[in-house]
């Protein structure tokens, strides 16, 4: 298992790690989650969606199974959360069309269009240690499907 994420990176920047971390290691699955840094930097929603589609397609094109994980809400930021809903809905439709896995983390880490208080830190964005076992449990059905 390898984590190619980088703090503060945008969805486009994450596409840069494909050649360094996916191609050489040839993982069976790649779980992809991004978007919040893009929104914080003011990148338009349409561009974020295009970047995410490009990353998912690039993962598939190198022979790895892509798994999209939803962008999570920012606590108490209704306007931003509406944009997050747009991103996730578009990516749901895209994944369905392309046959990619779509893992909706909002079902387990969020409620009422906001992230649960116990799962987010003081910055209202980054997850607390309590959230990670819940997230890990959500990965298990996909991992089991591929015998991992």
- Domain range list for the chain: 11-145
The C-alpha atoms of residue 124 and residue 112 are separated, in whole angstroms, by: 15
User: What would the mean pLDDT of 71-88 be, rounded to a whole number?
Assistant: 96
**Residue 90 pLDDT greater than 70, yes or no:** yes
| pLDDT at residue number 136 | 96
Quick one: pLDDT at residue 9? 86
**pLDDT tens digits, residue range 11-64?**
998 888 888 888 888 999 999 999 999 999 999 999 999 999 999 999 999 999
CA 147 to chain centre: 22
Tell me what the pLDDT averaged over the chain comes to. 93
What is the per-residue pLDDT for 7?
74
pLDDT at 92 over 80: yes
**Cα 116 to Cα 131: distance, rounded to the nearest angstrom:** 9
Higher pLDDT, 57 or 4: 57
Residue 86, pLDDT > 80, answer yes
Q: Dihedral angle at the C-alpha atoms of 81, 83, 88, 90, nearest 10 degrees?
A: 160
Q: Hunting for tokens 């591929």 — which residue is that?
A: 146
State residue 4's pLDDT score: 62
Q: What is the pLDDT of residue 89?
A: 98
| Degrees, nearest 5: CA angle 123-129-130 | 105
Q: How far apart, in whole angstroms, are the C-alpha atoms of residue 17 and residue 32?
A: 12
Q: Taking 70 as the threshold, does the pLDDT of residue 140 lie above it? A: yes
Domain 11-145 has CATH 3.40.50.1110: yes
pLDDT for the residue numbered 5: 63
Band of residue 1 on the pLDDT scale cut at 50, 70, 90: low
pLDDT bracket for residue 2 (50, 70, 90): low
| C-alpha to C-alpha distances, 66 to 6, 86, 92, nearest whole angstrom | 18, 20, 13
């Amino acid at each position: 298992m390898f984590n190619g994420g980088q703090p503060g990176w945008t969805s486009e920047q994450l596409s840069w790690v494909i050649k360094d971390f996916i191609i050489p290691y040839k993982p069976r699955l790649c779980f992809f989650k991004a978007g919040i840094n893009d929104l914080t930097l003011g990148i338009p929603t349409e561009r974020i969606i295009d970047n995410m589609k490009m990353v998912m397609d690039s993962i598939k094109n190198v022979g790895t199974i892509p798994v999209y994980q939803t962008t999570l809400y920012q606590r108490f930021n209704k306007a931003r959360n509406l944009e997050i809903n747009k991103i996730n809905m578009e990516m749901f439709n895209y994944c369905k069309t392309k046959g990619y896995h779509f893992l909706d983390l909002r079902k387990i880490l969020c409620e009422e269009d906001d992230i649960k208080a116990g799962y987010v830190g003081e910055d209202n964005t980054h997850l607390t240690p309590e959230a990670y076992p819940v997230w890990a449990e959500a990965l298990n059905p996909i991992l089991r499907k591929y015998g991992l």
